[in-house]
Amino acid sequence: MNWESILPNVFAGVAPHAAEAPMDPPMDNAVFAGFYQRSARPLWAYLARTSGDPALADDLMQESFVRFLCASHPVSLQAEGEVAGRRYLFRIATNLLRDHWRRPQSASIEEIPEEFLAATASSAQSDSQAVLGPALAQLRPRDRQLLWLAHAEGYSHREIAEITGLASASIRLLLFRARHKIAKLLREQSSLPGRQA
C-alpha cells in the first residue's frame, strides 16, 4: 500500500477532487489582467467620487480586487460573464466603503470638510467637475453611491439593490429623491454669478 493509492495525486500537489470533478476553470493571470484593465478605472471613479478621497479610492480599489480574487465562491468570468464579475466587484467595494465609514477611528465622509471636496473639484479642469463636486459633497454617502451607480455606471434598480444590499423596492424612491436633490443643487451651482459667463 502506498500513499498514492490512499490519496490520489497527493505527491503531485493536486487536490483529490480536482482530478475527478469537472470544475470551472480557475481565473488565470491573463484573464484577470484583462478584466482589471477594463474594470479598474470605473471602480476607482466610483470610489473616489463617493468617498471624495482619491487616496482612499486607491487603497479600496486594490483591496477590492484582492478580495475578488480571494473570494471563497469566486465569480467565474468565463461562465458568468464580465458584467457579473464587475457587479460583484462593485459590491465588494461598496461593502469596503461602508466598513470604512463605520470605523470610528477613521475620518468619516461626514467629517470631511466640504472645502476638501470643493477644492478637489475646483482644481479639476472640467467645469462639470467643479459643479458636480460641491453638489455631491452636500449629499449623504448612500445617495452619492446610488446616483453614481445609476447615472454614471448605468446599473438598473435591481443591480443597484444587489450591489448596495438595499431592498430593490426602495431603490426607486431613494434614487428619485437623490436625483431631485442633486438636480436642484446643480441648478443652484450653475446659477451662481461666477458660473454665468
Partner 1 sequence: MILRSCPFEKEVAQLLAQGGWPAACAPELRAHVTSCRSCGDLVLVQQAFQRARAHSTAAVPLVSPGVLWWRAQLRRRQAAVERVGRPILGAQIFALAVNLLLVVTFLAYQVRHGLSWLSWIEQLPQSFTLHLEALWPSALADSGMSLLVLIPALATLALLSGVVVYLAADRQ
Sites of contact with partner 1 (CB under 8 A): 29, 32-33, 36-37, 40-42, 44-45, 48-49, 62, 65-66, 69-70, 124-126, 128-129, 131-132, 135, 147-148, 151-154, 172-173, 176-177, 179-180, 182-183, 186-187
Q: What does the DSSP 8-state code read for residue 133?
A: H
Smallest gap from Cβ 85 to partner 1, in A, equals 14
Q: What is the DSSP string of 98-109?
A: HHHHH-SSSPPT
**Which residue's CB is nearer to partner 1, number 2 or number 126?**
126
d(CA 118, CA 137): 8
d(CA 153, CA 135): 18
Q: What is the DSSP string of 33-85?
A: HHHHHHHHHHHHHHHHHHHS-HHHHHHHHHHHHHHHHH-SSPPPHHHH-HHHH
List the grid coordinates of 161.
Answer: 439593490
Smallest gap from Cβ 1 to partner 1, in A, equals 25
List the grid coordinates of 72.
Answer: 471563497
**Which residue's CB is nearer to partner 1, number 1 or number 43?**
43
Smallest gap from Cβ 114 to partner 1, in A, equals 17
d(CA 178, CA 138): 11
**Which residue's CB is nearer to partner 1, number 12 or number 173?**
173
**Which residue's CB is nearer to partner 1, number 119 or number 124?**
124
Smallest gap from Cβ 104 to partner 1, in A, equals 26
List the grid coordinates of 196.
Answer: 454665468
Smallest gap from Cβ 33 to partner 1, in A, equals 4
**Which residue's CB is nearer to partner 1, number 105 or number 136?**
136
